[in-house]
């Protein structure tokens, strides 16, 4: 059975159709990159995956059951910004998941258990290349380091699914490349299922195992919200030629202009 | 030459410019005081610096002839105790209800309209009610401060709690946090420095209510003393008292600012 299944999934806000007729199956350990123009429902899809929005029609299934209607431990998340807690240092941020689990009331642990959590957190931080910044607060870290921290914080909880919401959108190209390598490595090591939202088509094209393009295949220029976005391309990636890339790229540009 | 709007005084210049108005005011006062006293040495309205010095000496450093106590110290301690308890209790209530309102929609829906309503009641208008209920003793004065600033603290901290990025609340849940843990490990630590900032703002209002309550019914306190000696037109006591109150307010404000920077460096660095 597929891990994630989209069955005729719709999401509408009043008369605005954001997503329509989404059908897809995703197996465990796939790495799906979702690209699309701004306003084409990428973020809405992510909210459905998190459970903070409900589908208006159709179903979104996790292991054959409707996906839980609120965020929980099965789905880790890294946002573009505000992903880490500004009031905790790097180790504190990564220890957070363990502390919350160990102490339902205080949310803090002490003594030997704390030392154990701290050692685990340090190991995780070293894994993502932050071994030198253990007691730094987020505001003392660069954008790339903050995202490394956010990834470490999410992954120490061992989620089955990792959701990435344009995680590298604000980073410099060189740093972005390092982050790609990091994510690919962790994806393989931890047997994760990854959904990565990005508006960078090139990123979508060369990262991961599967590319979804969210785009409006019916587009009324007078009423761009009348029809929702669908998955217009569902491709295994890594062996696509330059021509496909360019044709998708130009289609998305057309949609972006029409939506304005 | 650069346009005026683009010119900045250097550090030395800033000091001189900053002190200048104080010096001018002082000169103006001394000149006016001298002029009045030259005409009538018993004129009470603009006492000379010497007269004020004598009054300070009498109030602060000599025991009162009637009670044998140091009046200014006694007044200061009484007022500080009232404002300390009043502001402390208000801050605690503000913190609890501000976070609860901001974080939990069901509590917000229940309490927020009530708090908006209460915050619009002019506290001075219910001062008689407070005196009737709580008597003329300490409790009524502390209550006036609490009634006066707590609704503001709650509303402000509610707003600050609502401003915590949604991303962080979602992130907490994906890390396994329950509602209580989101409140105690996310909202509380992030609101603490904002509580200090809001309390600093509320202190000015708290002083107003304290002095008003002391003016109406008290037997000691800085506000009581000012209004007592008003009967004798004792500007030589009133002016130093006002300056002393200002200095106290300044010191409390400075102290809270330092505590905030010391305890919550991340807050000041990121904002």
Separation between Cα atoms, residue A37 and residue A213, nearest integer Å: 9
The tens-digit pLDDT sequence of chain B (271 residues) is: 899 999 999 999 999 999 999 999 999 999 999 999 999 988 888 999 999 999 999 888 988 888 888 899 999 999 999 999 999 999 999 999 999 999 999 999 999 999 999 999 998 899 899 889 988 888 989 999 999 999 999 999 999 999 999 999 999 999 999 999 999 999 999 999 999 999 999 999 999 999 999 998 888 999 999 999 999 889 999 999 999 999 999 999 999 999 999 999 999 986 5
ipTM for the complex shown: 0.89
Nearest CB to A79; choose among B167, B181, B186: B167
Interface of B with A (CB under 8 A): 165, 167-168, 170-178, 180-181, 184-186, 189-190, 264-267, 269-270
Nearest CB to B176; choose among A73, A85, A108: A73
Residue A240 has pLDDT above 60, yes or no: no
Closest residue in chain A to residue B271, using alpha carbons only: A139
CATH 3.40.50.300 residue ranges for chain A: 26-55+62-74+159-219+230-260
Closest residue in chain A to residue B270, using alpha carbons only: A139
Residue A20: alpha-carbon gap to chain centroid: 21
Candidate ranges A97-101, A215-219, A247-251, B66-70; pick with highest mean pLDDT: A97-101
> Judged by CB atoms within 8 Å, which residues 215-254 of A form the interface with B?
none
Contacts with A231 (C-beta within 8 Å, 6 or more apart), sequence order: A22, A23, A24, A212, A213, A214
Contacts of B175 in chain A (CB under 8 A): 73, 96-97, 100, 153-154, 157
Contacts of A81 in chain B (CB under 8 A): 165, 167
Please judge whether B167 and A101 are an interchain contact, meaning their C-beta atoms are less than 8 angstroms apart: no
Fold that domain A26-55+62-74+159-219+230-260 belongs to in CATH: Rossmann fold (3.40.50)
Q: For A141-175, what is each residue's pLDDT tens digit?
A: 998 999 999 999 999 999 999 999 988 887 888 88
How many Cβ contacts (< 8 angstroms) between chains A and B? Answer: 83
C-alpha distances in angstroms, A180 versus A169, A185, A188?
12, 9, 12
Please judge whether A139 and B269 are an interchain contact, meaning their C-beta atoms are less than 8 angstroms apart: yes
Q: In what order do the strands lie in the sheet with A193-198?
A: A75-78, A161-165, A193-198, A31-36, A210-215, A230-236
Q: Say if A68 is an interface residue toward chain B (CB within 8 Å).
A: no
CA distance B261 to chain A (A): 13
Q: Say if A199 is an interface residue toward chain B (CB within 8 Å).
A: no
Domain boundaries, chain B: 9-38, 71-270
Give domain B71-270's CATH superfamily: MetI-like (1.10.3720.10)
B contact test, residue of A85, A135, A154 with most B CBs within 10 A:
A85
Closest residue in chain A to residue B191, using alpha carbons only: A87
pLDDT score recorded for residue B119:
92
Q: For A169-205, what is each residue's pLDDT tens digit?
A: 878 888 888 888 889 989 988 889 999 998 888 888 7
Contacts of A92 in chain B (CB under 8 A): none
Contacts with B54 (C-beta within 8 Å, 6 or more apart), sequence order: B236
Contacts of B168 in chain A (CB under 8 A): 82-83, 85
CA distance B178 to chain A (A): 8
**Per-residue confidence at A242, pLDDT binned at 50, 70, 90?**
low
Please judge whether B175 and A96 are an interchain contact, meaning their C-beta atoms are less than 8 angstroms apart: yes
Q: Are A223 and A247 in contact (CB under 8 A)?
A: no
pLDDT score recorded for residue A260:
62
Please judge whether A153 and B168 are an interchain contact, meaning their C-beta atoms are less than 8 angstroms apart: no
Please judge whether B171 and A154 are an interchain contact, meaning their C-beta atoms are less than 8 angstroms apart: yes
DSSP for chain B, written as a single string: ---GGG----HHHHHHHHHHHHHHHHHHHHHHHHHHHHH-TT--SS--HHHHHHHHHHHHHS--TTT-S-HHHHHHHHHHHHHHHHHHHHHHHHHHHHHHHHH-HHHHHHHHHHHHHHHTS-GGGGHHHHHHHH-SSHHHHHHHHHHHHHHHHHHHHHHHHHTS-HHHHHHHHHTT--HHHHIIIIIHHHHHHHHHHHHHHHHHHHHHHHHHHHHHS-SSSHHHHHHHHGGGT-HHHHHHHHHHHHHHHHHHHHHHHHHHHHH-HHHHHH-
Residue A13 has pLDDT above 60, yes or no: yes
Closest residue in chain B to residue A78, using alpha carbons only: B171
**Per-residue confidence at A238, pLDDT binned at 50, 70, 90?**
low
Contacts of B178 in chain A (CB under 8 A): 104
A235 strand-pairing partners: A211
A75-80 average pLDDT score: 93
Separation between Cα atoms, residue B138 and residue A198, nearest integer Å: 63
Q: Say if A49 is an interface residue toward chain B (CB within 8 Å).
A: no
Nearest CB to A77; choose among B174, B176, B180: B174
B contact test, residue of A49, A52, A86, A124 with most B CBs within 10 A:
A86
Contacts of B184 in chain A (CB under 8 A): 106-107
Please judge whether B190 and A50 are an interchain contact, meaning their C-beta atoms are less than 8 angstroms apart: no
Mean pLDDT of chain A: 88
Closest residue in chain B to residue A70, using alpha carbons only: B173
Please judge whether B177 and A107 are an interchain contact, meaning their C-beta atoms are less than 8 angstroms apart: yes
A243-250 average pLDDT score: 73
Residue A258 has pLDDT above 80, yes or no: no
């Amino acid at each position: 059975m597929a891990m994630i299944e989209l069955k005729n999934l719709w999401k509408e806000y009043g008369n605005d159709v954001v997503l329509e007729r989404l059908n897809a199956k995703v197996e465990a350990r796939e790495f799906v990159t979702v690209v699309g123009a701004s306003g084409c429902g990428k973020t809405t899809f992510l909210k459905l995956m998190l459970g903070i929005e409900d589908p208006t029609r159709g179903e979104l299934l996790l292991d054959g059951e409707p996906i839980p209607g609120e965020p929980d431990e099965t789905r880790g998340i890294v946002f573009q910004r505000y992903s880490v807690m500004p009031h905790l240092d790097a180790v504190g941020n990564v220890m957070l998941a363990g502390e919350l689990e160990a102490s339902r009331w205080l949310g803090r642990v002490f003594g030997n258990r704390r030392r154990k959590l701290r050692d685990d957190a340090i190991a995780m931080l070293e894994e993502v290349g932050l071994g030198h910044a253990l007691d730094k607060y987020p505001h003392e870290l660069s954008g790339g380091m903050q995202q490394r921290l956010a990834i470490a914080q999410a992954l120490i909880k061992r989620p089955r699914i990792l959701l990435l919401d344009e995680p590298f959108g604000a980073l410099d190209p060189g740093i972005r490349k390092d982050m790609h390598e990091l994510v690919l490595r962790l994806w393989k090591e931890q047997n994760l299922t990854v959904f990565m939202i990005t508006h960078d088509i090139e990123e979508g094209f060369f990262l991961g195992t599967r590319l979804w393009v969210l785009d409006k295949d019916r587009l009324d220029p007078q009423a761009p919200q009348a029809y929702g976005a669908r998955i217009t391309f569902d491709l295994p990636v890594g062996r696509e030629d330059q021509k496909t890339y360019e044709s998708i790229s130009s289609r998305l540009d057309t949609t972006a202009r029409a939506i304005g | 030459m650069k346009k005026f709007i683009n010119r900045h005084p250097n550090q030395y210049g800033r000091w001189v410019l900053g002190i200048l108005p104080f010096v001018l005011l002082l000169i103006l006062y001394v000149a006016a005081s001298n002029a009045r006293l030259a005409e009538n040495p018993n004129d009470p309205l603009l006492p000379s610096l010497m007269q004020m010095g004598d009054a300070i000496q009498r109030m602060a450093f000599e025991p009162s002839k009637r009670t044998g106590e140091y009046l200014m110290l006694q007044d200061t301690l009484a007022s500080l105790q009232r404002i300390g308890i009043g502001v402390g209790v208000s801050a605690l209530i503000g913190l609890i209800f501000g976070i609860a309102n901001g974080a939990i929609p069901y509590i917000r829906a229940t309490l927020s309209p009530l708090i908006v309503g209460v915050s619009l009641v002019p506290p001075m208008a219910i001062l008689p009610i407070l005196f009737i209920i709580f008597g003329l003793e300490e409790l009524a004065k502390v209550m006036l401060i609490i009634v006066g600033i707590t609704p503001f603290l709650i509303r402000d901290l509610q707003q600050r709690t609502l401003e915590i990025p949604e991303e962080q609340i979602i992130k907490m849940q994906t890390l396994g946090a329950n509602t209580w843990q989101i409140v105690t490990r996310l909202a509380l630590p992030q609101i603490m420095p904002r509580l200090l900032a809001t309390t600093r703002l509320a202190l000015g209002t708290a002083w107003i209510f304290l002095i008003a309550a002391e003016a109406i019914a008290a037997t000691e306190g800085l506000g009581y003393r000012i209004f007592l000696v008003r009967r004798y037109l004792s500007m030589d006591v009133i002016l130093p008292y006002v300056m002393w109150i200002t200095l106290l307010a300044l010191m409390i404000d400075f102290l809270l600012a330092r505590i905030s920077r010391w305890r919550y460096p991340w807050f000041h660095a990121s904002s």
